[in-house]
Copies of this chain bind each other. A is one copy, B any other.
Amino acid sequence: MSQSKVLIAENDTVLKSIFATEMTRQIRAIDTYGTYDNLSVVEILEPFVLTKEMKREIPVIGDPDEIILSRVKGFYNAIASMIERECGLMAVPLLNLSYEGFGRVIITVGKLVVVDKSLRDVHRFGFPSLEKMKENADKILMTALGIIGAHGDVANL
């Protein structure tokens, strides 16, 4: 995977969003060995941006490695964290990969499932641009908040 192309501009406005801040925070939180300590926000988020060509180059063979898993976790942890900010209740993500890049991720608030997604080709986890990634996260967030709004009693259990 070539890192020579500029995938995220230094002055991209998305970098200042709550989403980008949460993403960076979550990625750093699960970075036990401090590998990301000296990386900028752009450097941390760049691996999430994959063009079609870049995706095609990644083989979907065997189980995805720990680095990719930490990206998937980081993304959904950030969404869980944004849900908490918005509704004031604890949101707990749960990721289960069954085999060869297939899996399921859910986020629960109380006894309510607010995010439930099947995953496939996790090896190629990424988004066409930073903006698309934020859009995707915001969409999941909005759906989750809608479910919480409609079933507050179960979310509070």
- Shortest distance between the CB of A107 and any CB in chain B (Å): 11
Instruction: With CB as the reference atom, state the residue of chain B lying closest to A97.
Output: B96
Any B CB within 8 A of the CB of A70: no
A88-116: CB near B (< 8 Å → 1, else 0) gives 00000011100000001010101111101
- Shortest distance between the CB of A54 and any CB in chain B (Å): 29
Any B CB within 8 A of the CB of A85: no
- Shortest distance between the CB of A20 and any CB in chain B (Å): 26
- Shortest distance between the CB of A32 and any CB in chain B (Å): 11
Give the A interface residue count (CB, 8 A): 16
Contact A116:B112 (CB < 8 A) given known A94-B94, A94-B96, A151-B154: no
Instruction: With CB as the reference atom, state the residue of chain B lying closest to A153.
Output: B151
Any B CB within 8 A of the CB of A45: no
Any B CB within 8 A of the CB of A60: no
A111 CB contact (under 8 Å) in B94, B96, B112, B153: B112
Residues of B within 8 A of A151 (CB): 111, 151, 153-154
Structural contact, A154 and B112, CB atoms closer than 8 A = yes
Q: Which 3 A-B pairs have the closest CB atoms?
A: A111-B113, A154-B154, A94-B96
In the assembly, what is the distance between CA of A137 and CA of B147, in Å?
Answer: 30
Residues of B within 8 A of A94 (CB): 94, 96, 104, 106
13 new A-B contacts, CB < 8 A, other than A96-B96, A111-B114, A111-B151, are A94-B94, A94-B104, A94-B106, A106-B106, A106-B108, A108-B113, A108-B116, A110-B113, A111-B147, A112-B112, A112-B113, A113-B113, A151-B151
